[in-house]
């Protein structure tokens, strides 16, 4: 149904993903992933234009049928022609994305990814509603409180009895398929994200590092991500101690 003056389109037919290609990579640190047949059924609810400071994107709203969880994808230009698409999977971080927190690098990564996509003239950003690496907003605030007392991000989650990273990227693969995208040049520093996507049938043709300059508040957090969670931040010189001003509680 079209709304006069808008480019919104409503899609009501649920999408049942086809079986995807075989597993190409593995990562023993990943949470257990169910069989390919367990990829979530997703509905594309509506699409519209979304002007941003970097350009006019198309915004697509999705709903997971089983859980009712809502996610969005932003696309820029033509993305369904089969060639690898510059892309980013971004997990929700209300504090970083919406409240300008400097405790993490999420807001800077989000801005950098949108700018890169617009500059390229073609790309996709999948925004997944899995706050706090999957533990939720209130638990993230509890973990931040423990980090204020000296714990790092990994130990804080352990003290709360919560997983360190329970993010699930299968829904992202389904959303990408629905947008006609099968191959990405993925902007990420997280190798788990690459292996998770490839298990779900999305080809990662290239990893594009996201270059973020650490600040005094997130340097410790970034160091923990590099040293304890396997993030590839060496290209930014982030393994060097001199790059960690005020490291500690981020
Ligand atoms: Zn964040």
Q: Total structural domains in the chain?
A: 2
Report yes or no on 157 lying in a domain.
no
The CATH number for 39's domain is: 3.40.50.10990
Q: Do residues 179 and 233 both lie within one domain? A: no
Q: What is the mean pLDDT of residues 11-25?
A: 45
What is the band of 176 on the pLDDT scale with cuts at 50, 70, 90? very high
Q: What is the pLDDT of residue 216?
A: 82
- B/e letters for 73-87, b = 16+ CB within 10 Å, e = fewer, are bbbbbebeeeeebbb
Q: Do residues 206 and 229 both lie within one domain? A: no
Q: Do residues 41 and 101 both lie within one domain? A: yes
pLDDT > 50? residue 7: no
Q: Do residues 123 and 180 both lie within one domain? A: yes
Q: How deeply is 94 buried, as exposed, middle or buried, from its count of CB atoms within 10 A (0-12, 13-18, 19+)?
A: middle
- Tell me the per-residue pLDDT of 197-249, one tens digit each, with 9 for 90 and over: 999 999 999 999 987 888 888 887 778 877 777 777 765 444 433 333 333 22
Q: Do residues 49 and 65 both lie within one domain? A: yes
C-alpha to C-alpha distance for 64 and 38, rounded to whole angstroms? 12
Q: Do residues 73 and 119 both lie within one domain? A: yes
Taking the centre of ligand 1 as the mean of its atom positions, its distance from the CA of residue 104, in whole angstroms, is 5
Q: Do residues 171 and 244 both lie within one domain? A: no
Domain limits for position 224: 219-250
Mean pLDDT, the chain, whole residue set: 81
Q: Do residues 206 and 226 both lie within one domain? A: no
Which contiguous run of DSSP H or E holds residue 173?
helix 170-178
Report yes or no on 121 lying in a domain.
yes
Q: Do residues 172 and 250 both lie within one domain? A: no
Taking the centre of ligand 1 as the mean of its atom positions, its distance from the CA of residue 15, in whole angstroms, is 30
Report yes or no on 4 lying in a domain.
no
Q: How deeply is 138 buried, as exposed, middle or buried, from its count of CB atoms within 10 A (0-12, 13-18, 19+)?
A: exposed
Q: Do residues 78 and 61 both lie within one domain? A: yes
Report yes or no on 139 lying in a domain.
no
Taking the centre of ligand 1 as the mean of its atom positions, its distance from the CA of residue 176, in whole angstroms, is 23
Q: What is the mean pLDDT of residues 63-77?
A: 96
Catalytic positions, written as ranges: 165, 167
C-alpha to C-alpha distance for 90 and 200, rounded to whole angstroms? 17
Q: What is the pLDDT of residue 231?
A: 77
- Tell me the per-residue pLDDT of 76-86, one tens digit each, with 9 for 90 and over: 999 999 999 99
Residues with CB under 5 A from ligand 1 (ion): 93, 96, 104, 106
Taking the centre of ligand 1 as the mean of its atom positions, its distance from the CA of residue 98, in whole angstroms, is 10
């Amino acid at each position: 149904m079209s709304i006069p003056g808008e480019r919104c389109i409503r899609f009501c037919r649920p999408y049942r993903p086809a079986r995807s290609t075989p597993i190409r990579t593995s990562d023993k640190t990943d949470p257990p992933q169910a069989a390919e047949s367990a990829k979530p059924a997703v509905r594309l609810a509506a699409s519209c234009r979304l002007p941003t400071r970097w350009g006019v994107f198309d915004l697509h709203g999705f709903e997971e049928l089983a859980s009712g969880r809502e996610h969005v994808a932003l696309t820029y230009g033509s993305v369904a022609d089969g060639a690898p698409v510059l892309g980013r999977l971004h997990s929700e971080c209300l504090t970083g994305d919406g409240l300008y927190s400097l405790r993490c690098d999420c807001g800077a990564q989000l801005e950098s990814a949108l700018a890169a996509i617009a500059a390229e003239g073609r790309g996709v950003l999948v925004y997944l509603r899995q706050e706090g690496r999957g533990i939720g907003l209130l638990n993230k605030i509890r973990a931040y409180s423990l980090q204020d007392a000296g714990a790092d991000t990994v130990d804080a989650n352990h003290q709360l009895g919560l997983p360190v990273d329970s993010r699930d990227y299968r829904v992202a693969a389904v959303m990408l398929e629905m947008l006609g995208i099968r191959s990405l040049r993925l902007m990420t520093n997280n190798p788990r994200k690459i292996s998770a996507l490839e298990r779900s049938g999305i080809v990662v043709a290239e990893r594009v590092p996201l270059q973020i300059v650490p600040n005094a508040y997130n340097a410790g957090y970034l160091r923990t991500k590099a040293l304890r969670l396997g993030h590839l931040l060496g290209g930014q010189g982030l393994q060097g101690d001199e790059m960690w001003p005020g490291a500690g509680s981020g």
